[in-house]
């Protein structure tokens, strides 16, 4: 993702383009494997090179700002660290119950909740989290194979 695009998306979301927010965004664009906050922190430190070291707290705060602004999605994984990806092309997720890997599934339309259960809520989109065994774990767990 090129720098002007990242800067524009930050501005469109009403966020000032600080070097650190920029680094978090470019790291997420480069790494599609749904990194944890700790991995993003390591990546931002690596990107910063010789620049003054960012504290873990500032990186986490910036990450939270990006999630609140709707630029970054937090994928909650029960009992494990949350993982993050940049909101671009809409997709579903597959979470492996054994190793915790979070993989993207191509988007397909899913049924909407009935309006009675939505009440006055305004629905924007429905995303699925599918759970099971990833390819690796399914291959190494003979009993789990269907």
Where along the sequence are the contacts to Zn ion (CB under 5 A)?
Answer: 85, 96, 98-99, 104, 134, 137
Cβ at position 139, least distance to Zn ion in Å: 9
**Please, which residue, 11 or 136, has the CB nearer to Zn ion?**
136
Give least dist CB 108 to Zn ion, A: 14
Q: Do 21 and 8 meet the contact criterion of CB atoms below 8 Å apart?
A: no
For Zn ion, which is the closer residue by CB, 21 or 83? 83
Residue placing its CB nearer to Zn ion in the complex, 74 or 104? 104
C-alpha–C-alpha distance, residues 130 and 54, integer Å: 35
**130-140 burial by CB neighbour count: b if 16+ within 10 A, else e?**
eeebbeebeee
């Amino acid at each position: 993702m090129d720098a002007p695009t990242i800067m524009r998306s930050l501005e469109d979301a009403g966020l000032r383009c600080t070097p650190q927010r920029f680094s978090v965004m470019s790291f997420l664009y480069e790494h599609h494997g749904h990194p944890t906050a700790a991995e993003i922190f390591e990546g931002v430190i690596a990107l910063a090179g010789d620049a003054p070291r960012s504290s873990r707290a500032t990186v986490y705060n910036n990450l939270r700002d990006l999630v609140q602004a709707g630029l970054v999605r937090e994928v909650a994984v029960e009992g494990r660290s949350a993982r993050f990806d940049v909101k671009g092309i809409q997709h579903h997720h597959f979470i492996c119950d054994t190793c915790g890997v979070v993989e993207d599934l191509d988007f397909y339309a899913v049924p909407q909740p009935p309006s009675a259960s939505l009440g006055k809520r305004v629905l924007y989109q429905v995303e699925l989290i599918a759970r099971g065994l990833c390819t690796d774990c399914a291959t190494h767990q003979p009993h789990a194979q269907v």
